[in-house]
Structure 1
Amino acid sequence: MNDTPETTETAESQRFRFPTAFTILFGLIILVAALTWIIPAGQYNRVLNPALNREVPVAGTYAETEANPQGLFDVIMAPIGGLYNPATNQANAVDVAVFVLILGGFIGVVTATGAINSGIGSAMIALKGREKWLIPVLMGLFAFGGTTYGMAEETLAFYMLLIPIMIAARFDAITAVAVILLGAGVGVLGSTVNAFATVIASDAAGIPFTQGIVLRFVILGLCWLACVVYVMRYAARVQRDPSKSLVYDMKASNEEFFLSAHRGERTDFTGMHKLVLAIFGITFVVMIWGVLKGGWWMGEMSGLFLASAILIGLITRPGEQSFVESFVNGSRDLLGVALIIGLARGIVVVMDAGKITDTILHWAELSVAGLGKVAFINVMYWLQVLMSFFVPSSSGLAVLSMPIMAPVADFAGVGRELVVTAYQSANGLVNLINPTFAVVMGALAIGRVPYERWLRFMWPLLLILTVIITACLSIAVLLA
């Protein structure tokens, strides 16, 4: 019997299957550990910055230090240290992992009521023919969160809400992930008053955070528009022809996973469903309020979703056993996401323990010396791109690099505010695809989007955004 094209294609895809996120991240841990045997160990002297309440490196104080190469035991312990560092009693990502598990339980309880499926059906009837306009509206809201307070980990709560809606609208999982990840990500890329990027970096650079804000608004607007157009064009192609989807081979599986709950049951949008969805929506509003006004972080947000799950259980009265099963099953669906978060943070743990972080920063400091203005700001941008792969945290990279790079700009005759803008744009761009950034890998895991498919989707857009950013930086440095 001759193989059909479909059979051959399936066999080829199975034979050359791309590694999972777990394998990619563990491979990166091994690679970084190997680099600690090659890259010289070194450190800057550090002093306490009262404004930041953190220790920052002092320019010109770098010195090589005793090496601490990371071995097999360190590689094995890296994911554990990424979640929780027993040596220092410091939590790294366990708070985010717990939040993800509680969120999964909350989603499981809400899904078990049938409210989400009924609500999606009602929404699709109301939006018939206008589903595409959800994309710019939602991307605008997420961008607002990104540019104002650095919305990142909080977005993990929205994927299980938006993905079924997008799939029901005949888009795909990549469209849903892009709306959230690119929406919030482009907001961080074009941060205006984001305390975790712009404000910290400006303080570390010794300038007011309002300096350079006009340029950041321009970058934000242009990049947001580029992302919206790009996502809408992709979504329209998928809606017209589902085979154009980059995850078309997973279409049936994704529909089964995201839309099959309670299929075949009565789908009337009842008053109870409306009440459950009202509580569902209010929970997210309270979460955003708590982050912006109440100083909440993962612990408080986890408590909020746990309380909301219990409230919905008391209202719908599914029975104690059914409620617990729904919560546990929901948490189990996101267990892989929680583990991925620890793996991603483990890469930074190995790099810091191997004492190569400051060495990479020192090499960056030396590489921009003696350059002209336009060359300086563009090289600075690409150096920040490189360092963002190793230090995905926006606040962490700001505290690490700005005390060194900002004074170097004075010798090149470049304003320090441009160095801050180059840093945050580079960090924001990289964190749209960065495998060491837990938010990216967590989002793709929730959306069941393989990492290489996300790269295929993103690479043309990354080129577009890079052109926009580097052109804005170059023009700004010439006009200064």
Structure 2
Amino acid sequence: MPSTEEPAAKSKLRFPSAFTILFALIVLVAALTWIIPAGQYERVTSEALGKEVPVAGSYAPVEADPQGIFDVILAPIAGFYDPVTYVARAIDVSLFVLIIGGFIGVVTATGAIDAGIARAMVRLKGREIWMIPFLMALFALGGTTYGMAEETLAFYVLLIPVMIAARYDALTAVAVILLGAGVGVLGSTVNAFSTVIASDAAGVTFADGLALRLVILALCWAVTVAFVMRYAARVRADPTRSLVYDRKAANEAHFLSAAPAQAATFTGMHKIVLILFALTFGVMVWGVVLGGWWMAEMSGLFLAAAILVGLIARLGEGRLVDSFVSGARDLLGVALIIGLARGIVVVMDAGHITDTILHAAETGVGGLSRTAFILVIYWIEVGLSFFVPSTSGLAVLSMPILAPVADFAQVKRELVVTAFATASGMVNLITPTSAVVMGGLAIGRVPYERWLRFVWPLLVVLTCIVMAALALATVLGGTPT
């Protein structure tokens, strides 16, 4: 029997890895720099944003700089940092991921995670499904208030073992985190990195359009939670219906490494380690929201926490270092993916085609009705988001151009801001140019094509909700005063 099945397995087509997909996109974008005319907008420094923003109507052709083979090879390197100015692009996020891996490695070495999972499963027996809406509400809150994105990478290694132990699968855990925070960003209410920056660049306050974004957030969150809960219940009832069923044994071995007898013993030391574990994440959220922290401070926090956990658990210097290095090694592939994803934007900017794409959007919306205008703006932002996955970067790039165009179409600028926020949030649930998406899938060991197969029905429903909300708000909201 094995001899008859093995050839079929070998002949089965295998979807390319995330590394191959991203590098292929770099090659494609480099090829486009030979085809798409080069151009740039004039830029002025915005004191409010502290960044340079493009000036509407100032687009002009510039000398082309098509990207060649050498540029393609250097793009993944330049994705980590600018080789001329040495300004960080992704090296800070990648280092954060490695230190998170080290921290998780140290905590795992204490046995606290496996023991805590066993205790949680006993307490939640029969009610595990309600973890999903509770956790997705927390992640959505982070997404809608401060744009929780890279920070979510720290939670995968914590939640995936819990979900697998509850007889769900790794994809369920990935969906809870990625869709939970992602739908919050999609319905950004007061997100400083999305709606606040975009509103300022559009010349309106972030309170304008807040009610509409709250409605979109509530509707999209409810639909997303129901979607994930339905999939989770189906997998638990019949594990063969899991989209990653072929990886079930490997994932259980990878994420549930402790023996059952070890995991069943929950000691006082385990309790202290888990409290410190939770406090570390709480301090991280506090630091980002109120303390102005970013990657350097968060990395320092997890490094200090790893040392403290090692001291409390009395791991000893050798075991502490080995556990940290081993944990970081587990996430090395994720760190490399992050730099590779940023390399796509590097090639676009170097080839001077980013502004050309934006200019095509600016000139393509003239003469449309108000409802058609806002829906076209939404799809323009969807297209731009594939190339500029950073919400703040896209806001600074597109709002100074597209918001003034709304005046001519008699559409309120806050609707353009909402169209931007929802489009960017929608794309960042699936785009392979996002380090958050590709990094989360890599940690969860979920192939990219399985994620697309899982999420596409949800994307259709969410898109219909957003488009209906934008169209209705445009009709009922009146014209700018």
What's the TM-score once normalised by structure 1's chain length? 0.98
Partner of 1:90, secondary structure, is coil
Cα deviation for residue 10 of structure 1 reads: 3.0
Matched, 1:17 2:14: yes
1:438 matched to which residue of 2? 435
Separation in structure 1 between the aligned mates of residue 122 and residue 265 of structure 2, nearest angstrom: 12
Count of residue correspondences: 477
Q: Which runs of 5+ in 1 are unaligned?
A: none
Which of 91, 97, 100 is equivalent to 1:100? Answer: 97
Which of 183, 186, 194 is equivalent to 1:186? Answer: 183
Determine if contact 1:62/1:362 at 8 Å carries over to the other structure: yes
Cα deviation for residue 262 of structure 1 reads: 4.7
Moved over 2 A (4+): 1-4, 6-12, 261-267
Which of 301, 314, 319 is equivalent to 2:316? Answer: 319
Separation in structure 2 between the aligned mates of residue 428 and residue 223 of structure 1, nearest angstrom: 11
Cα deviation for residue 264 of structure 1 reads: 4.9
Determine if contact 1:392/1:436 at 8 Å carries over to the other structure: yes
Determine if contact 1:36/1:70 at 8 Å carries over to the other structure: yes
1:440-455 map, 5 Å: 440-455=437-452
Tell me how large the CA RMSD over aligned residues is.
Answer: 1.2
Matched, 1:247 2:247: no
Matched, 1:478 2:470: no
Separation in structure 2 between the aligned mates of residue 261 and residue 450 of structure 1, nearest angstrom: 25
Cα deviation for residue 463 of structure 1 reads: 0.3
Determine if contact 1:106/1:308 at 8 Å carries over to the other structure: yes
Amino acid at match of 1:360: I
1:199 matched to which residue of 2? 196
Separation in structure 2 between the aligned mates of residue 7 and residue 472 of structure 1, nearest angstrom: 51
Separation in structure 2 between the aligned mates of residue 473 and residue 272 of structure 1, nearest angstrom: 53
Matched, 1:370 2:358: no
Separation in structure 2 between the aligned mates of residue 263 and residue 333 of structure 1, nearest angstrom: 23
Matched, 1:81 2:75: no
Deviation digits for residues 217-255 of structure 1 (CA, Å, limit 9, x no counterpart): 010000001100000000000000000000000000000
Cα deviation for residue 321 of structure 1 reads: 1.2
2:272 matched to which residue of 1? 275
Determine if contact 1:111/1:261 at 8 Å carries over to the other structure: no
For the structure 1 residues 289 and 383, does the alpha-carbon distance in structure 2 shift closer, same or farther, using more than 3 Å as the test?
same
Partner of 1:83, secondary structure, is coil
Cα deviation for residue 7 of structure 1 reads: 4.7
Cα deviation for residue 2 of structure 1 reads: 8.9
Separation in structure 2 between the aligned mates of residue 217 and residue 266 of structure 1, nearest angstrom: 42
1:399 matched to which residue of 2? 396
Determine if contact 2:106/2:310 at 8 Å carries over to the other structure: yes
Separation in structure 2 between the aligned mates of residue 113 and residue 75 of structure 1, nearest angstrom: 43
1:223 matched to which residue of 2? 220
Deviation digits for residues 250-302 of structure 1 (CA, Å, limit 9, x no counterpart): 00000000002355536311111101101101111111111111111111111
2:454 matched to which residue of 1? 457
Partner of 1:229, secondary structure, is helix
Matched, 1:469 2:450: no
1:334-373 map, 5 Å: 334-373=331-370
Amino acid at match of 1:277: L
Separation in structure 2 between the aligned mates of residue 315 and residue 409 of structure 1, nearest angstrom: 59
1:38-187 map, 5 Å: 38-187=35-184
Partner of 1:67, secondary structure, is coil
Amino acid at match of 2:62: T
Separation in structure 2 between the aligned mates of residue 128 and residue 321 of structure 1, nearest angstrom: 38
Determine if contact 2:27/2:72 at 8 Å carries over to the other structure: yes
Separation in structure 1 between the aligned mates of residue 205 and residue 262 of structure 2, nearest angstrom: 58
Cα deviation for residue 346 of structure 1 reads: 0.5
Separation in structure 1 between the aligned mates of residue 191 and residue 313 of structure 2, nearest angstrom: 40
